[in-house]
Amino acid sequence: MQHLHVEVRVEDLISPPPDMKDCPHVHLPNPAMRAFIQLKRNTGAPDAVILAWILAVMAASAMRIARVRAPGWNAETLALFLIAGSEPGTGKLPVYEHLIPPFRDYDKASHSVYQELLMEQEADMEAWIARKSGLKKLLRDLTSSPHLEDAKKADEVEKLLKELVRRKPKQVRSRRLLKNRISVVQALKALNGGQEAMLLATEEGAKLLNGVIAEDVDLVNQLFDGTEIVYERNYLDLVITAPLVCLCLGIQPGRLSALLKKYALDASVSGFLARFLVAVDRDEGEEPELDYEPAWGDVDTLNALVSKLLRIPDDVGDGALFEPKVLEFDLEASTEFKRIKRALKDLRQENGPWHGIKAFARKAIKIIARLAAIFTIFKDDQSTHISKETLNDAALVVEWYLHQAKDVIVNESQRVAIRHLYEKLKDFYRDERRQGHNAAWISKTYIQRHAHMKVDVLDPLLGIMAKHGMLREDTRNSSRAQYVVLTEKYF
């Protein structure tokens, strides 16, 4: 008898967490919120992509002018690491192209200044080389002289030469904020050469993450923490005292899933990924219907604010050294911060909602503090204190990202496992049918052995498949199901 076969994507049986909330763009500062709405309307891009890019440009423009000091902490950098997962053709490029102009304009202006400084440096270097050559020749002449007074002069000239070498003109380097397709070591070399900050943005997130995980996890962790980096490898000797690096990585969901599956049990990798705000859009995506001449006024307003913040460190004048301000929490916000910190600790305990993503929940409080400072700057760049309201806005954005991480990290592993189990059950069913056996009945012991799953992993997956009518568990002869009965149309 021919059975009706129903095609099924079993990974779709694992739904997002029931308490998953809508994108929290309403908690962004007003210029950013309005830009988000306009970008969504004009590009149709996924929420995860738009939010990641807006947060990236906000962080990259704010991290040069301020730090944040939470109760009981030292001052922290405002750098953020973000991963936005979406399928090709979902409108990512227009979002990037409309938010990145302030950085391109800043880099273009910086390059003009760099060219002027380079000409000055070349003149200084020529004078330095001439002076060095003259002292060396004089030293040779004096040391070859038989006169005692020339030997004394030689000592003085040698001291002058050593002092001159120590005062070699510093090499001028271009300070481009925006970087694409750059390795971690290349980023370190740029920072070592005088680059004070960097927005590293790439759609090749999978490639960069794989490279980092293979070699540079500790280095990137230090970039996030803003701590001193000493790099002595591959004939390089680099020291970066206070790195400021913001990462925004685009990645296809399938590649992120493969990466998570490969490194699921590696604690160091989990700790590294926990420094990221991760969100994935799972829709295949359609070409959005755009207005013929869409308005971009709100995006332009946000970009103007970003441009203003980017220029602040360069506008001190008179060769003065810019000193970033330190934002602190006001009294109400300090009390609220401590409450949020305690709540996050409780929620990552064994029965809490964040237990499956403990590493992410541990880092969340640090990211909340950074985000609260960034939001404060975008509300009022003269402010030095963070309010309770702004802190709670930041906490709600990070909470949304924790839900996203839970779906990506916990549910994605289930999606991979249920796909594997389904393929094993389908192979069993078809083999038994070919042999003329009752293919719908199968023992759980057999499933455990051939799917290489322990019962505590297998039972929840069978429960999900039973809930969707793909099988039922047989308990007639025992209080505990020993067999499953497959619903034949699915296999």
Pairing state of beta strands 325-329 and 66-69? Answer: parallel
Return all residues near 192 (Cβ < 8 A) that are at least 6 apart: 231, 238, 239, 240
Task: Evaluate whether 213 touches 150 at the Cβ level (below 8 Å).
Answer: no
Task: Evaluate whether 61 touches 79 at the Cβ level (below 8 Å).
Answer: no
d(CA 48, CA 280): 6
Closest by alpha carbon to 199, among 364, 30, 82?
A: 82
**pLDDT for the residue 3:** 47
Q: Average pLDDT of the chain?
A: 82
Closest by alpha carbon to 246, among 299, 302, 301, 187?
A: 187
Q: Which fold has domain 17-110+175-412?
A: Rossmann fold (3.40.50)
**pLDDT for the residue 427:** 85
DSSP string, 339-365: HHHHHHHHHTSTTSTTGGGHHHHHHHH
**Same fold across 17-110+175-412 and 418-490:** no
Return all residues near 362 (Cβ < 8 A) that are at least 6 apart: 274, 344, 348
**pLDDT for the residue 471:** 84
Task: Evaluate whether 191 touches 240 at the Cβ level (below 8 Å).
Answer: yes
Phi-psi region for residue 410, left (φ > 0), alpha (ψ -120 to 50) or beta?
A: alpha
**pLDDT for the residue 490:** 78
**pLDDT for the residue 481:** 61
Task: Evaluate whether 307 touches 104 at the Cβ level (below 8 Å).
Answer: no
The Cα diameter of the chain in Å comes to 116
What are the pLDDT digits (tens) for 328-355?
999 999 999 999 999 999 988 877 888 8
For 221-227, what is the mean pLDDT? 88
What are the pLDDT digits (tens) for 66-80?
999 999 899 999 999
**Mapping DSSP to helix (H, G, I), strand (E, B) and coil, where does residue 269 land?**
helix
Break the chain into its structural domains and give their ranges.
17-110+175-412, 418-490
Residue 479: pLDDT band (50, 70, 90) is low
What are the pLDDT digits (tens) for 249-264?
998 887 887 777 677 5
**Mapping DSSP to helix (H, G, I), strand (E, B) and coil, where does residue 165 land?**
helix
What are the pLDDT digits (tens) for 130-154?
788 887 887 787 777 777 677 777 7
For 387-403, what is the mean pLDDT? 95
C-alpha 443: how far from chain center: 45
Residue 358 pLDDT more than 80?
A: yes
Q: Which fold has domain 418-490?
A: Arc Repressor Mutant, subunit A (1.10.10)
**pLDDT for the residue 266:** 67
**pLDDT for the residue 417:** 78
Residue 146 has, within 13 A of its CA and on its CB side, a CA count of 0
Residue 407: pLDDT band (50, 70, 90) is confident
Task: Evaluate whether 72 touches 342 at the Cβ level (below 8 Å).
Answer: no
d(CA 377, CA 364): 20
Residue 1 pLDDT more than 50?
A: no
Considering the entire predicted model, what is its pTM?
Answer: 0.76
**Mapping DSSP to helix (H, G, I), strand (E, B) and coil, where does residue 175 land?**
coil
Burial 280-293 (b: 16+ CB within 10 A, else e): bbbeebeeeeeeee
What are the pLDDT digits (tens) for 239-298?
888 889 999 999 888 788 777 767 755 667 778 888 999 998 865 445 556 556 788 999
Burial 106-133 (b: 16+ CB within 10 A, else e): bbeebeeebeeeeeebeeeeeebeeeee
What are the pLDDT digits (tens) for 5-18?
555 565 566 555 55
